[in-house]
Structure 1
């Protein structure tokens, strides 16, 4: 039995060739159309341009929104904000531009995104503004020394 199995197995290994999922022409069509194999199954047309397919709702999910040409989309953090104390006094005025540059009381501070929020510090104050605007009462400031905190409101 081994006399026949080993030669047959060796012949099968030599005859077997690598399988390629797509050919070069199809790959180029996918690149030019902005489609993937999955979006093509959902209706993305490989014979159209990226712009036409994006307009039809088949934008590449791995492309950042700014690069996809949606310049009219704005960061949810942009605008004027006011940090208030429990008594209603203004603790800080915050301005955030479309590129997420942050100014607290007119002084620019570094900001970072963390868990869907924008966080930044000025001295002992830590400010957190949520990116999901459906969340209410989640925009807060906290004084790490005094242990006080309060809401941040959009103007």
Structure 2
């Protein structure tokens, strides 16, 4: 009896086709509605738009970039060791940076946001749990100081 059951069981296991959780049409409906499979069971309607479902209180953080908050957004102040203001920095939700009211280019590097204005280089740490890691450096004068959020 075992001689028949084991080979048949092995054949059934190897011949079994994989099952996919959702088909392409359903996936597109989920994307367009902003729903997930879990939120759909909680009342999110896949036949409505993202905006309509958002009004009803259903959002999908994985597909909704407007709710994504950057850790750098806010008003910052670069200070000297003596406490004098070196620069005022403003960063919006899209990580656009203004130093003393002038727009500058910024880039992410190794978990930080770095940007330059003249000889000054500003570095902001992305992990807000770390304190004292935000600083500016002046390559010409060789000075360095802290940056604090207001």
- What is the TM-score normalised by the length of structure 1? 0.62
Unpaired segments of 5 or more residues in structure 1? 1-17, 35-48, 57-64
SS in 1 for 2:98: strand
Per-residue deviation at 1:31?
3.4
The answer on whether the counterparts of 2:132 and 2:146 sit within 8 Å (CA) in structure 1 is yes
What is the aligned-residue RMSD (CA, Å)?
A: 3.0
The answer to whether structure 1 residue 108 and structure 2 residue 92 are counterparts is no
List 4+ stretches of structure 1 deviating above 2 A: 18-23, 29-34, 52-56, 70-73
1:69 to 64, 72, 81: 64
Unpaired segments of 5 or more residues in structure 2? 1-14, 41-59
- What is the TM-score normalised by the length of structure 2? 0.64
Which residue is equivalent to 1:31?
27
Per-residue deviation at 1:69?
1.3
Q: Distance in 2 between matches of 1:54 and 1:87?
A: 54
Per-residue deviation at 1:144?
1.0
Cα deviation 1:84-103 (Å, max 9, x = unaligned) = 00000000000111111101
Q: Distance in 1 between matches of 2:37 and 2:126?
A: 28
